[in-house]
Amino acid sequence: MGLISWIVLGLLAGALAKWIMPGRDGGGFVMTTLLGIAGAFVGGFIASLFDFGSATAFDLRGVAVATLGAVVLLWAHRRLSGGAAS
């Protein structure tokens, strides 16, 4: 996937993660996108551990893996920063 695809996948995954785990987190659009891109990497790593696949393709599985990673990162960020209650 190219850089633009990663950004679009990250935006989508970050938005889905915020929809799954709503709350008052700072950062706005940029933070959501970065969280989604990083989530794609984390989700790809987790998925490869369980032989589920990776976030290397822009398809339903890739979006699901990236979103899972973004949810994990959002949860960890809230725990470490003492942010919104979960």
Q: What type of residue sits at position 59?
A: D
Q: What type of residue sits at position 38?
A: A
Q: d(Cα 36, Cα 16) in Å, to the nearest integer?
A: 9
User: How large a percentage of the chain has pLDDT more than 90?
Assistant: 0
Strands (E), the chain: none
Q: Is residue 86 part of a domain?
A: no
Q: Give the total number of structural domains in the chain.
A: 1
Backbone conformation region of residue 26, classed left if phi is above 0, alpha if psi is from -120 to 50, else beta: beta
Q: Is residue 55 part of a domain?
A: yes
Q: Is residue 65 part of a domain?
A: yes
Looking at per-residue pLDDT, the higher value among 55 and 71 belongs to 71
Q: Is residue 19 part of a domain?
A: yes
Domain that holds residue 41: 3-81
Q: Is residue 69 part of a domain?
A: yes
Quote the pTM value.
0.72
Q: Is the dihedral of CA 42, 45, 47, 53 positive or negative?
A: positive
Nearest-5° Cα angle at 42, 10 to 32: 35
59-68 pLDDT, tens digit per residue, is 777 788 888 8
Q: Is residue 20 part of a domain?
A: yes
